[in-house]
Amino acid sequence: MCLSQLLLQSLGDRWGRAVTLGDIAHLRAQRGELDAALALHQEALATCEALGHPEGKANSLWSIAQIEIQQGKHQEGFQHLAESYAIYLKLGRLDGICVVGLDLGRLLCAAGQREKGLDILARSRDGFRKLGRQRQAEAAEKLIQSLSAPKP
């Protein structure tokens, strides 16, 4: 086997491990094992960073943020969401922009940054439409309307 094949095999094994860690972490989070899930996502993040895989990094950051928010660590969750969103913007990955944007926009609105949050949510809604994901676009629109309504 030549050097390039060995290198690709090694990277594939590391990437495969990162993906598997993320999958296991999602399962553990669903069972309420948030600390264990967080540790697995952090390990997957470190692997993605070592491999220089920005999409994997963005996905890991988003997953970490979701757990942190569930744990009430809103500032850490916000930072990870913002970094994930910025990576997806840089990559031009509309699917990532839309999905992460829903969480980021909602969190910004909850933190009193309603205008900025609504702008991000509108970008998600419009992106879902562009991707042909009408159900998700409609859900984003309902969220925008609920967050835009005057508070009693």
Residue pair 67/38 in contact (Cβ under 8 Å)? The answer is yes
DSSP secondary structure string, 49-92? HHHT-HHHHHHHHHHHHHHHHHTT-HHHHHHHHHHHHHHHHHHT
| 65-91: pLDDT as tens digits | 999 999 999 999 999 999 999 999 999
Q: What is the DSSP letter of 149?
A: S
Q: What is the pLDDT of residues 117-148, one digit of tens each?
A: 999 999 999 999 999 999 999 999 999 999 98
* Separation CA 122–CA 58 (nearest Å): 21
| Mean pLDDT (the chain, rounded) | 88
Greatest Cα pair distance, the chain, in angstroms, is 69
116/27 Cα distance (integer angstroms): 32
Q: What tens digit of pLDDT does each residue of 112-122 get?
A: 999 999 999 99
